[in-house]
Amino acid sequence: MGWYDRYVVPRLVTCACGTKPIVRQRQKVVPQARGRILEIGLGAGHNLPHYDPGQVDHVVGIDPCEESWRLATPRVRAVPFDVEFKAGSAEDIPADDASFDTVLLTFSLCTIPDPEAAVREARRVLRPSGKLVFCEHGQAPDDSVARWQRRINPLWNKLFGGCNLNRDIKGIIGGNGFSLGDVQQMYLPGTPRIAGFNIWGVADPQ
């Protein structure tokens, strides 16, 4: 991995992940996480302040980028529950079957190289009564926006550490072991439409 991807990308992504519209999205989903929680793609820990501390037993954060753990440290120190970092990949989660009550996925399916394998792994590590809580950006429903997403994606992917603008989030989650309940979606205000189409909700293991 080169210098740009190792040091610049985590900082660029951290800035983008802290914008107001994205914080509002975190506030909608993260408090629904409870029990023993696996956060896939912990990044710089932007979700940590939004957990409901009364509902959290323990958070395990998995991310292959150890630099992001350094960026997350102040947020980890500020929360009143344990956060354990595991360097690793969502496609091969270092955890036992049925060992979590919640898997939280925010703004990570865009970047994980094999998102379908990641969702199957999330299904494997969730207890039967567990929930996948998610908020992701992805393929826009409007043809004109989707066309621009396809055009810009190759450059975007290089600039932003492998992020993809146009993944089919509902298809990836619904097609890999989850039933989608009440899923919501919208373009985030104040965000370019190509990067701002968000889909969020809670999915149950099938």
Binding site for ligand SAM (CB under 6 A): 13, 17, 40-41, 43, 46-47, 62-65, 68, 89-91, 106-108, 111-113
Instruction: Tell me the one-letter amino acid at 107.
Output: F
For residue 123, give the 3-state DSSP assignment. helix
* CB nearer ligand SAM, residue 119 or residue 140: 119
The b-or-e profile of 7-25 (16+ CB within 10 A means b, else e) is eebbeebbeebeeeebeeb
* CB nearer ligand SAM, residue 11 or residue 147: 11
Is the distance from CB of 5 to CB of 157 less than 8 angstroms? Answer: no
* CB nearer ligand SAM, residue 63 or residue 101: 63
* CB nearer ligand SAM, residue 65 or residue 83: 65
* CB nearer ligand SAM, residue 65 or residue 145: 65
Structure-token match 């908020």, residue found: 135
Query: Least separation, in Å, of the C-beta of 41 and ligand SAM?
Result: 3
Query: Least separation, in Å, of the C-beta of 143 and ligand SAM?
Result: 26
For residue 133, give the 3-state DSSP assignment. strand
Furthest C-alpha separation in the chain: 45
The sign of the dihedral angle between the CA atoms of 109, 124, 127, 90 is: negative
Is the distance from CB of 80 to CB of 49 less than 8 angstroms? Answer: no
Q: Name the residue whose CB lies closest to ligand SAM.
A: 43
Query: Least separation, in Å, of the C-beta of 17 and ligand SAM?
Result: 4
Is the distance from CB of 29 to CB of 10 less than 8 angstroms? Answer: no
Query: Least separation, in Å, of the C-beta of 85 and ligand SAM?
Result: 11
Query: Least separation, in Å, of the C-beta of 2 and ligand SAM?
Result: 15
Closest CA to 122 of 58, 39, 198: 39
Distance CA 206, CA 203 (A): 9
Query: Least separation, in Å, of the C-beta of 182 and ligand SAM?
Result: 21
* CB nearer ligand SAM, residue 111 or residue 198: 111
